[in-house]
């Protein structure tokens, strides 16, 4: 499947600013059953990113939907949540999160071309332009990457950039899907993209934001209670005023408030980096929030998530497993990061010796009580998990180094 050259296809591009035209686009999407999707957005000005343009590729057409003119895009977002329709995106995470934030709908039936490429040895995470250059000998312009997409009217170069971002999604999808099918890996990609359909991917537990503040791990429970309270207030204030949370109070100031909780506005004033306009706006509110946090009973104060730090021996064992995994991934032409992360390997070290034996040829759907670690069930267990578990149990391995440019290292389990 060849990707169309940009110039010849731009005649099939339509700018959508009218609700009736959007309804026609949605009807075309429903008829086709698959469409490419991309967003241009500005993340730094508001609490939720501002969607400035929605690019849709369906059949041989590209539609540029203007959300500045069209305030209500819910009819379009419903197609993203329709499990009967395939949505093709590249590096889908941010776009899907923004769509959920704006619509409240959980996306379904997503095909992420970045993930798919990783299962074909094309690198992970591979950029969209890199894939198009490798598979279609196309070179996309990057000149509009950081342009102001909220400004109107859009320039010709912005429109051309937006078209190119969507134009090649369907040909790329078809090419990747064909190669995945021929290598019997399409089901793996579909399974991997299922995480985009989980409620937990979009709905984060409230009250845990303080765990992401750098330096919080060293605080005691009382100071963590103060940090948690200020974080909760900041999130509410940012959402209320539609501002990025860090523009209300930055993390360094919040950490300082937790380390040395102020009892007055004057105490806050002594903290470096706080502007007078900020102090007059929220100084008293923050003092009250901290006072309330200090009234929390000791037993109810939050604590840093427990977890035994891995021993030096466990770290070394995980390093060995990572080497085995990288060799196996090289042989299979799959990005090792798609099979397991270092944290998952470290988790496997803790539980690996206790996992029941299974036949290496069991189905991809097998799962058990060990389902918390992705290497213990599904295609990952069959592909690499069983081998890694055998290594954990002491099975010797044989490493062979050859002069082959494609597979310079081979690894095999030995009989005990």
Confidence of residue 405 (pLDDT cuts 50, 70, 90): low
The domain locations on the chain are 6-202, 209-300, 312-413
As a whole number, mean pLDDT of residues 8-18 equals 73
**Is the pLDDT assigned to residue 123 strictly greater than 60?**
yes
Q: Which residues 6+ apart lie within 8 Å of 86 measured at CB? A: 33, 34, 35, 109, 111, 173
Give the per-residue pLDDT at 276.
87
The three state secondary structure string of the chain is CCCCCHHHHHHHEEEECCHHHHHHHHHHHHHHCEEEEEEEEECCCCCCCEEEEEEEEECCEEEEECCCCCCCCHHHHHHHCCCCCEEEECCCHHHHHHHHHHHCCCCCCEEEHHHHHHCCCCCCCCCHHHHHHHHHCCCCCCCCCCCCCCCCCCCHHHHHHHHHHHHCHHHHHHHHHHHHHHCCCHHHHHHHHHHHHCHHHHCCCCCCHHHHCCCHHHCCHHHHHHHHHHHHHHHHHHHHHCCCHHHHCCHHHHHHHHHCCCCCHHHHHCCCCCCHHHHHHHHHHHHHHHHHHHCCCHHHCCCCCCCCCCCHHHHHHHHHHHHHHHHHHHHHCCCHHHHCCHHHHHHHHHHHHHCCCCCCCCCCCCCCCCCCCHHHCHHHHHHHHHHHHHHHCCCCEEEEECCCCCCCEEEEECCC
* Mean pLDDT on 259-278: 91
> What mean pLDDT is predicted for residues 348-363?
63
Helices 169-182, 128-136: crossing angle, 10 deg rounding: 70
What are the residues facing 42 on neighbouring strands? 50
30 confidence band (pLDDT: 50, 70, 90): very high
CATH topology assigned to domain 209-300: DNA polymerase; domain 1 (1.10.150)
Higher pLDDT, 120 or 273: 120
Is-above-0.95 flag for pTM?
Answer: no
Q: How confident is the model at residue 154 (pLDDT cuts 50, 70, 90)?
A: very high
Residue 138 has pLDDT above 70, yes or no: yes
Task: For residue 12, count other CB atoms closer than 10 A to its CB.
Answer: 15
Q: Say which range, 23-27, 202-206, 304-308, 310-314, has the weakest mean pLDDT.
A: 304-308
Judge whether residue 49 has pLDDT over 50.
yes
pLDDT at 222: 96
* pLDDT-based confidence at residue 353 (cuts at 50, 70, 90): low
| Predicted confidence (pLDDT) per residue in 58-106, tens digit | 999 999 999 999 999 999 999 999 999 999 999 999 999 999 999 999 9
**Greater model confidence, 9 or 271:** 271
Residue 268 confidence (pLDDT) above 90? yes
CB of 68 closer than 8 Å to CB of 175: no
Quick one: CA torsion of 406, 409, 413, 416, rounded to 10 degrees?
150
Q: Looking up tokens 């035994």, which residue turns up?
A: 308
Q: Residue 369's pLDDT is what?
A: 44
Given a cut of 50, whether residue 361 has pLDDT beyond it is no
Can you say how many angstroms the Cα of residue 390 is from the centroid of all Cα atoms in its chain?
Answer: 31
pLDDT computed for residue 251 by the predictor: 96
| Digit-coded pLDDT (tens) for 406-415 | 667 777 777 6
> What fold is seen in the domain 6-202?
Nucleotidyltransferase; domain 5 (3.30.420)
Let me know if the fold of 6-202 is the same as that of 209-300. no
What pLDDT does 354 receive?
65
How high is the pLDDT of residue 402? 77
Q: Which pLDDT score is estimated for 8?
A: 40
Q: Please, which residues have CB within 8 angstroms of residue 91's CB and are 6 or more apart in sequence?
A: 112, 114, 125, 128
pLDDT (0 to 100) of residue 366: 41
Per-residue pLDDT reduced to its tens digit, 326-347:
999 998 999 999 999 998 999 9
| Whole-number pLDDT of residue 416 | 58
Mean pLDDT, the chain, rounded, equals 89
pLDDT of residue 360: 44
**Is residue 350 very low, low, confident or very high in pLDDT (cuts 50, 70, 90)?**
confident
Tell me the per-residue pLDDT of 292-335, one tens digit each, with 9 for 90 and over: 999 999 999 999 887 667 888 999 999 999 999 999 999 899 99
């Amino acid at each position: 499947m060849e990707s169309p050259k940009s110039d010849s296809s731009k005649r099939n591009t339509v700018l959508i600013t009218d609700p009736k035209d959007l309804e026609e686009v949605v009807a075309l999407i429903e008829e086709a059953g698959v469409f490419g999707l991309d967003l241009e957005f500005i993340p730094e000005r508001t609490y939720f990113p501002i969607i400035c343009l929605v690019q849709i590729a369906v059949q041989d057409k590209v539609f540029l939907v203007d959300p500045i003119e069209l305030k209500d895009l819910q009819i379009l977002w419903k197609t993203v949540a329709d499990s009967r329709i395939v949505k093709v995106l590249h590096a889908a995470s941010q776009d899907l999160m923004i769509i959920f934030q704006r619509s409240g709908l959980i996306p379904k039936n997503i095909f992420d071309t970045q993930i798919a490429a990783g299962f074909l040895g094309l690198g992970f995470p591979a950029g969209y332009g890199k894939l198009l250059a490798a598979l279609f000998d196309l070179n996309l312009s990057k000149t509009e990457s950081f342009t102001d997409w909220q400004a109107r009217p859009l320039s010709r170069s912005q429109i051309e950039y937006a078209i190119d971002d969507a134009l090649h999604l369907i040909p790329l999808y078809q090419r990747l899907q064909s190669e995945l099918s021929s290598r019997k890996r399409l089901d793996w990609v579909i399974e991997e993209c299922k995480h985009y359909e989980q409620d937990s991917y979009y709905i984060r537990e409230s009250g845990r934001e303080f765990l992401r503040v750098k330096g919080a791990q060293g605080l005691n429970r009382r100071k963590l209670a103060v940090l948690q309270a200020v974080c909760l207030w900041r999130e509410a204030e940012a959402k209320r005023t539609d501002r990025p949370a860090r523009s209300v109070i930055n993390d360094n100031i919040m950490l300082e408030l937790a380390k040395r909780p102020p009892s007055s506005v004057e105490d806050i004033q002594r903290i470096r980096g706080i502007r007078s306009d900020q102090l007059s706006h929220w100084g008293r509110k923050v003092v009250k929030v901290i006072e309330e946090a200090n009234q929390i009973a000791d037993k109810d104060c939050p604590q840093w998530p427990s977890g035994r730090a891995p021993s030096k021996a466990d770290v070394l064992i995980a390093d060995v497993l990572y080497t085995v995994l990288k060799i196996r991934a090289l042989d299979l032409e799959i990005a090792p990061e798609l099979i397991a992360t270092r944290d998952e390997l470290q988790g496997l070290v803790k539980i690996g010796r206790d996992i029941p034996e299974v036949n290496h040829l069991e189905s991809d759907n097998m799962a058990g009580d060990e389902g918390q670690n992705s290497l213990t069930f599904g295609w990952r267990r069959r592909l690499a998990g069983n081998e890694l578990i055998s290594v954990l149990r002491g099975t010797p391995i044989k490493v062979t180094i050859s002069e082959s440019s494609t597979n310079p290292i081979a690894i095999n389990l030995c009989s005990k």
